[in-house]
């Protein structure tokens, strides 16, 4: 795999060889209908992996699959709600049926449902734990039989094959953030899950890491306007967006002077999915431009 470096005056661009390829690998990416998830699926596919994408939004999921398929990449989709207890097993089995293997799992699906603690209901708090912590646990548990049995056979045959798990956390999980008791708790919990699985699955040649995002330019952090946006989750309409004054303050406090893009976010995830991270496990990489709450 190669790309052209930027030109310098009249100098001819050079071909720079990429240090890895994901050819022959299969990746499973949750929450891949739009935003960061779509950017992750794109990075993995363009790096050579076959990709199974999942989301709740059928039209967005179709857009992701169609765009990648039209570009010549191997992509399948499975629509469904990850918080349904049986669905993670279905998703893992669908990936194995479509591609015959699972080499990379990116637990990306999530959303925010914010309020100060005295206004946060049990249902609201539990919803944040379900999508950000329970769902990754169930997906990884569902994949565990395949991962363990396959690794045992490879090791017995003298093969050294690395697999990758990347869980998505947040600076709200590492630093805390006012108004996000549920979201922050779920994102902090996934760090504990990540470090535990790194210890359990190291013997199976699996790197288990997490990427913690700062503010990334997605619909969840769009500026609040008079025509405020909503998403519908579990029968609830949830307002999304951030006050413009807060966005401006974050940009001013961020050492890089801007919010991140989905492509920025996907680049950090790609590192943990690649052979470049073969001796890195149980770690949290913060992708936030240097900003902390």
* Residues involved in catalysis: 183
Asked if 28 and 99 touch (Cβ cutoff 8 Å), the reply is no
**Backbone conformation region of residue 247, classed left if phi is above 0, alpha if psi is from -120 to 50, else beta:** alpha
Asked if 233 and 242 touch (Cβ cutoff 8 Å), the reply is no
Distance, in Å, from the CA atom of 22 to the CA atom of 279, rounded to the nearest integer, reads 17
Burial class (CB in 10 A: 0-12, 13-18, 19+), 235: exposed
Helices (H), 157-233: 171-175, 181-201
Distance, in Å, from the CA atom of 272 to the CA atom of 207, rounded to the nearest integer, reads 8
SS3 label, residue 193:
helix
């Amino acid at each position: 795999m190669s790309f052209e470096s930027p030109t310098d005056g009249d100098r001819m661009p050079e071909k720079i060889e990429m240090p890895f390829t994901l050819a022959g690998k299969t990746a499973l990416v949750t929450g891949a209908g739009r935003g960061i998830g779509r950017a992750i699926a794109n990075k993995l596919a363009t790096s050579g992996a076959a990709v199974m994408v999942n989301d709740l939004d059928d039209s967005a999921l179709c857009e992701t699959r169609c765009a990648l398929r039209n570009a010549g990449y191997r992509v399948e989709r499975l629509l469904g709600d990850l918080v349904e207890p049986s669905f993670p097993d279905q998703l893992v089995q669908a990936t194995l049926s479509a591609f015959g293997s699972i080499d990379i799992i990116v637990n990306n699906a999530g959303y925010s449902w914010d309020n100060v603690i005295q206004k946060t209901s049990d249902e609201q708090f539990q919803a944040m734990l379900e999508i950000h912590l329970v769902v990754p646990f169930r997906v990884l548990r569902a994949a565990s039989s395949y991962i363990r049995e396959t690794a045992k056979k490879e090791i017995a045959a003298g093969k050294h094959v690395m697999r990758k798990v990347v869980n998505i956390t947040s600076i709200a999980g590492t630093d805390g953030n006012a108004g996000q008791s549920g979201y922050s708790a779920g994102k902090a919990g996934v760090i504990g899950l990540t470090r535990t699985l790194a210890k359990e699955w190291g013997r199976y040649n699996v790197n288990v890491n997490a990427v913690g995002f700062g503010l990334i330019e997605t619909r969840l952090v769009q500026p609040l306007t008079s025509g405020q946006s909503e998403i519908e989750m579990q029968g609830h309409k949830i307002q999304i967006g951030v006050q413009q004054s807060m966005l401006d303050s974050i940009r001013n406090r961020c050492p890089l002077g801007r919010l991140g893009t989905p492509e920025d976010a996907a680049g950090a995830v790609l590192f943990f999915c690649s052979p470049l991270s073969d001796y890195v496990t149980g770690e949290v990489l913060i992708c936030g431009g240097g900003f902390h709450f």
